[in-house]
């Protein structure tokens, strides 16, 4: 700021006084930050640290409670015992993320480039599911996909499907449910990236005799890649931890790691093993999030989260 | 300005080399039609909920079949034991949680949007993590802490504390975006006219960022009202609306749930539309 005022220019009378921050003004950001900082420390960072602590405890609820004992074997135990659920969660989540990206990209592209004055209304329509509880939406899918529901029932009655055909309790139902529930999380960051692209670049490409497809492939697509990564992060990470879809739409063969964590925490009260599972999930998240933030910064995810689009 | 627009439109409608005009004419409808289909797909469970709030089922649990039209469930919306209490708990927690999160998040958003200070990047990263963290990890860690501390007892208070916690980051990023878009000269001008920094803030800055604060509040309100995963971990024996529905679905949900869901949905959409219109009017004026 001070460099902006040339050395030779006579400084306007009050300006220097205000630009050199007094100690009081230097403290202002910390004063503003203080309350939320303390709150996030106590109710976000501290719990994560305490979960790490709990994951290294041993003992049982019935045998005198849990004690901290650097019980690293908890991790080996849960990784060995629930390997299948871990692998399944990552498989489902990857399929969900790829499908959601393929579904959302053409839509967000069209809205960002051709939405005109309807952009904000169209975005509100994409966010519409958020105004109905996640649980209720998933229960409705259970009815829509039901064995005799509006889709399967109709197809069966005209003989297109055998009577015993079902969608519920299959991996397809779980993946479809998660895809539905996370589609807006995929669409928002994609939109943030696509909307930011200067539309004149596409005009320029066309002036240089590129076809629509070439203009897309050489101009729009490369510029939208940060959005694809943000969408990947905001879809893949939460989808891996989801258990509601597997619980409501799945069956015994579709149990995900979230179901195990929830069951151990809330039913079996096996806090150390449940915490070890959550810590593993948290580390996956931390690695992906740190990589993303280091390479692409945090701005896009923040804008998508605030729906500042 | 208008020349540029005309030029842009011309090149849009009449591409320089229309190699295959007949094909282009119908392909231009693919993307809008696709968008419409995807929006219908996103809306389908909501439509199902609305429709089945009128379903004249023989019993009192939602069935997949549509039997006929009735207003019974709308008339007897509070007739299910336990459900109104859970609904009330949700409606009590959401505004309180949103209010706290809005105050804390607005201050945080101001700090991040206006100042460069030592520690800005770590704070920014923590907010980013709070947005990206899977809900189950957050819920499990909060439960770990409440169990270790043996305080406070699981219930209303722990739900409230947790909801404020996960909402702050969303309010902060909403407010920060607006603060960064502000013209700092406006505040400087106020101070040149002998307003104290505090007066300049309240008379100039605050009114300008008010729409973002309101949007942040609405976001925090909706996040709290809808949250299932984190609440499920920290609620103890106090069900909120989503928790009650989740518990009830094992034996089948009563159609009144669809009525309440429809009411909440309508209220939410109304608030969002009012917010968008208010911002648009402000932007024009």
Closest CA to A24 of B220, B197, B147: B197
| Each residue's pLDDT tens digit, B19-58 | 444 456 777 888 999 999 999 999 999 999 999 899 888 8
Query: Could you tell me which chain B residue has the CA closest to the CA of A54?
Result: B144
Judge: A40–B148 Cβ closer than 8 Å, yes or no.
no
A303 contacts in chain B (CB < 8 Å): 173, 177
Q: Whose CA is closest to B228, among A88, A238, A280?
A: A238
CB contact under 8 A, B249 and A302: no
In angstroms, the separation between the Cα of residue B142 and the nearest Cα of chain A is 5
Name which of A59, A114, A139 to mutate to probe chain B: the one with the most chain B Cβ atoms within 10 A of its Cβ: A139
Nearest CA among A43, A234, A239 for reference residue B97: A43
Q: Do B39 and A126 touch (CB under 8 A)?
A: yes
Eight-state DSSP code of residue A245: H
ipTM value for the complex: 0.85
Look at residue B68 and tell me whether its pLDDT is greater than 80: yes
Q: How far is CA B150 from CA A147, B142, B143, B145, B158, in A?
A: 45, 12, 10, 8, 11
Q: Are A21 and B114 in contact (CB under 8 A)?
A: no
**Residue B168: is its pLDDT beyond 70?**
yes
Helix axes A83-114, B30-52, angle to 10 degrees: 120
| Contact (CB, 8 A) for B244 and B82 | yes
Confidence of residue B11 (pLDDT cuts 50, 70, 90): very low
pLDDT at A14 over 80: no
| 3 state SS of A67 | strand
Residue indicated by tokens 């034996």: B251
Residue A217 CB coordination number (10 Å): 13
The span from the CA of A94 to the CA of A59, in Å, is 36
Name the 3-class secondary structure at A66.
Answer: strand
Q: How confident is residue B85, by pLDDT bands cut at 50, 70 and 90?
A: very high
User: Which stretch of A72-76, B1-5, B30-34 has the lowest confidence by average pLDDT?
Assistant: B1-5
User: Across residues B227-241, what is the average pLDDT?
Assistant: 93
What is the per-residue burial (b if ≥16 Cβ within 10 Å, else e) of A101-121? Answer: bebbbebbbbbbbebeeebee
Whole-number Å distance between alpha carbons of A52 and B140: 11
Smallest CA–CA separation between A158 and chain B, in Å? 16
What's the pLDDT at B4? 44
Task: Please report residues of A whose CB lies closer than 8 A to that of B220.
Answer: none
| Per-residue pLDDT, A192 | 87
State the nearest Cα–Cα gap between A8 and chain B, in angstroms: 23
d(CA B254, CA B59): 9
- Name residue, tokens 């669409």: A187
* pLDDT at residue A18 greater than cutoff 50: no
Convert chain B into a string of H (helix), E (strand) and C (coil). CHHHHHHHHHHHHCCCCCCCHHHHHHHCCHHHHHHHHHHHHHHHHHHHHHHHCCECCCCCCCCCCCCCECCHHHHCCCCCCCHHHHHHHHHHHHHHHHHHHHHHHHHHHHHHHHCCCCCHHHHHHHHHHHHHCCHHHHHHHHHHHHHHHCCCCCCHHHHHHHHHHHHHHHHHHHHHHHHHCCCHHHHHHHHHCCCCHHHHHHHHHHHHHHHHHHHHHHHHHHHHHHCCHHHHHHCCCCCCHHHHHHHHCCCCCCCHHHHHHHHHHHHHHHHHHHHHHHHHHHHHC
Q: Give the minimum alpha-carbon distance from A22 to chain B in angstroms, rounded to a whole number.
A: 13
- By CA distance, what is A66's nearest residue in B? B148
Mean pLDDT over B173-202 rounds to 86
The answer to whether B132 contacts A237, with C-beta atoms less than 8 Å apart, is: yes
Q: How confident is the model at residue B186 (pLDDT cuts 50, 70, 90)?
A: confident
Q: Between residues B14 and B136, which one has the greater pLDDT?
A: B136
Q: Name which of A128, A183, A262 is nearest B136 (Cβ-Cβ).
A: A262
Q: Indicate the SS3 state at residue A96.
A: helix
Q: Domain limits of chain A?
A: 81-305
Instruction: Determine the distance in angstroms separating the CA of A246 from the nearest CA of chain B, rounded to an integer.
Output: 13
A99 token code pair: 């499908």
Q: Which two tokens stand for residue A15?
A: 């300006």
Query: Judged by CB atoms within 8 Å, which residues 150-209 of B form the interface with A?
Result: 161-162, 164-166, 168-170, 172-174, 176-178, 188, 191-192
Model confidence over A100-155: pLDDT tens digits? 999 999 999 999 998 888 888 898 899 889 889 889 999 999 989 888 888 888 88
Are the beta carbons of B146 and B234 closer than 8 angstroms?
A: yes
Q: What is the pLDDT of residue A91?
A: 95
**Do A153 and B249 make contact, defined as CB atoms within 8 angstroms?**
no
Chain B residue numbers touching A53 (CB-CB < 8 A): 148
Contact present, A280 and A89 (Cβ < 8 Å) = no
Closest CA to A191 of A298, A288, A114: A114
Query: Distance between CA atoms of B183 and A220, rounded to whole angstroms?
Result: 31
Q: Is the pLDDT of residue B232 over 50?
A: yes
Q: How far, in Å, are A11, A96, A111, B225 from residue A106 at the CA level?
A: 53, 16, 9, 31
Q: How many CB pairs under 8 A join A and B?
A: 298
* Ordered domains of chain B (ranges, CATH): 18-75 (no CATH), 83-253 (1.10.3720.10)
Q: In whole angstroms, what separates CA B4 from the centre of its chain?
A: 37
B184 with B209: CB under 8 angstroms? Answer: no
Q: pLDDT tens digits for A92-114?
A: 999 999 999 999 999 999 999 98
| Closest-CA residue to B105 (of A51, A94, A302, A261) | A302
SS3 label, residue A284: helix
Of A26, A30, A140, the CB nearest to B45: A140
Nearest alpha-carbon partner for A239 in A40, A108, A98 = A98
For A6, residues 6+ apart whose C-beta sits below 8 A from its C-beta are none
Q: Are B129 and B196 in contact (CB under 8 A)?
A: no
Find the angle CA(A243)-CA(A304)-CA(B229) to the nearest 5 degrees: 20
Q: A60 pairs with which residues across the strands? A: A65
pLDDT of A249 > 90? The answer is: yes
Across the interface, of A122, A133, A212, the residue whose CB is closest to B228 is A133
Cβ–Cβ gap B264/A133 under 8 Å: yes
Whether the per-residue pLDDT at A64 is higher than 80: the answer is no
Tell me the residues of chain B between 240 and 269 that have a Cβ less than 8 Å away from chain A. Answer: 241-242, 245-246, 249, 253, 257-258, 261, 264-265, 268-269
| Domain A81-305 falls under CATH 2.40.400.10 | no
Q: How many helices (H) and strands (E) does chain A have?
A: 16, 2
Global pTM reads 0.86
Q: Residues of B with CB below 8 A from A307's CB?
A: 174, 215, 219
SS3 A8: coil
Determine the residue of chain B that is closest to A55 in CA distance.
B144
CB spacing of B228 vs A135 below 8 angstroms: yes
Residue in B closest to A19 by C-alpha:
B188
- Summarize pLDDT for A168-217 with one digit per residue, the tens: 989 999 999 999 999 999 999 999 899 889 888 988 888 888 888 888 89
- pLDDT category at B140 given cuts 50, 70, 90 is very high
Polymer length of chain B: 285
């Amino acid at each position: 700021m001070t460099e902006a005022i040339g050395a030779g220019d006579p400084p306007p009378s009050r300006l220097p006084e205000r630009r050199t921050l007094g100690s009081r003004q230097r403290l202002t950001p910390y004063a503003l930050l203080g309350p939320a900082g303390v709150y996030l420390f106590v109710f976000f960072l501290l719990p994560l640290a305490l979960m790490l602590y709990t994951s290294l405890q041993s003992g049982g609820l019935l045998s005198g409670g849990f004690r901290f004992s650097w019980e690293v074997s908890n991790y080996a135990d849960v990784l060995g015992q629930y390997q299948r659920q871990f692998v399944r969660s990552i498989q489902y989540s990857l399929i969900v993320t790829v499908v959601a990206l393929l579904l959302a990209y053409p839509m967000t592209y069209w809205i960002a480039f051709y939405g005109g004055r309807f952009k904000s209304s169209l975005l509100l329509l994409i966010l519409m599911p958020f105004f109905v509880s996640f649980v209720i939406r998933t229960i409705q899918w259970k009815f829509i996909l039901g064995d005799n529901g509006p889709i399967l029932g109709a197809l069966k009655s005209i003989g297109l499907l055998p009577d015993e055909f079902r969608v519920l309790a299959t991996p397809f139902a779980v993946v479809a449910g998660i895809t539905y529930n996370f589609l807006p999380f995929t669409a928002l960051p994609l939109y943030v990236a696509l909307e930011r692209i200067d539309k004149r670049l596409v005009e320029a490409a066309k002036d240089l005799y590129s076809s629509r497809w070439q203009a897309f492939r050489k101009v729009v697509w490369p510029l939208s890649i940060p959005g694809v990564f943000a969408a990947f992060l905001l879809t893949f990470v939460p989808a891996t931890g989801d258990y509601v879809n597997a619980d409501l739409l799945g069956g015994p063969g579709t149990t995900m790691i979230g179901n195990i964590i929830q069951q151990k925490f809330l039913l079996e009260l096996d806090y150390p093993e449940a915490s070890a599972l959550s810590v593993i999930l948290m580390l996956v998240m931390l690695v992906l999030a740190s990589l993303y933030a280091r390479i692409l910064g945090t701005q896009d995810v923040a804008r998508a989260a605030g729906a500042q689009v | 300005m208008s020349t540029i627009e005309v030029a842009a439109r011309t090149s849009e409608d009449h591409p320089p080399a229309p190699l295959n005009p007949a094909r282009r004419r119908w392909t231009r409808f693919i993307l809008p039609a696709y968008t419409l289909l995807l929006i219908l797909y996103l809306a389908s469970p909501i439509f199902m909920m609305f429709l089945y709030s009128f379903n004249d089922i023989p019993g009192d649990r939602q069935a997949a079949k549509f039997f006929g039209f009735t207003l019974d469930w709308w008339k007897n919306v509070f007739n299910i034991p336990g459900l109104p209490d859970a609904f009330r708990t949700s409606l009590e927690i959401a505004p309180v949680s949103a209010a706290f999160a809005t105050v804390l998040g607005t201050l945080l958003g101001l700090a991040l949007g206006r100042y460069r200070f030592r520690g800005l990047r770590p704070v920014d990263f923590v907010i980013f993590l709070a947005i990206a963290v899977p809900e189950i990890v957050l819920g499990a860690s909060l439960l770990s802490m409440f169990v270790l501390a043996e305080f406070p007892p699981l219930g209303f208070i722990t739900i409230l504390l947790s909801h404020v916690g996960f909402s702050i980051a969303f309010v902060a990023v909403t407010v920060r975006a607006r603060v960064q878009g502000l013209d700092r000269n406006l505040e400087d001008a106020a101070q040149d006219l002998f307003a104290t920094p505090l007066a300049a803030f309240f008379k100039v800055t605050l009114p300008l960022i008010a729409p973002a604060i309101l949007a942040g509040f609405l976001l925090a309100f909706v996040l709290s009202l809808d949250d299932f995963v984190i609440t499920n971990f920290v609620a103890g024996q106090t069900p909120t609306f989503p928790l009650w529905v989740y518990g009830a679905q094992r034996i089948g949900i009563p159609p009144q749930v669809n009525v309440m869901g429809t009411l909440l949905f309508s209220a939410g959409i109304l608030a969002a539309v009012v917010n968008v219109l208010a911002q648009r009017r402000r932007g024009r004026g």
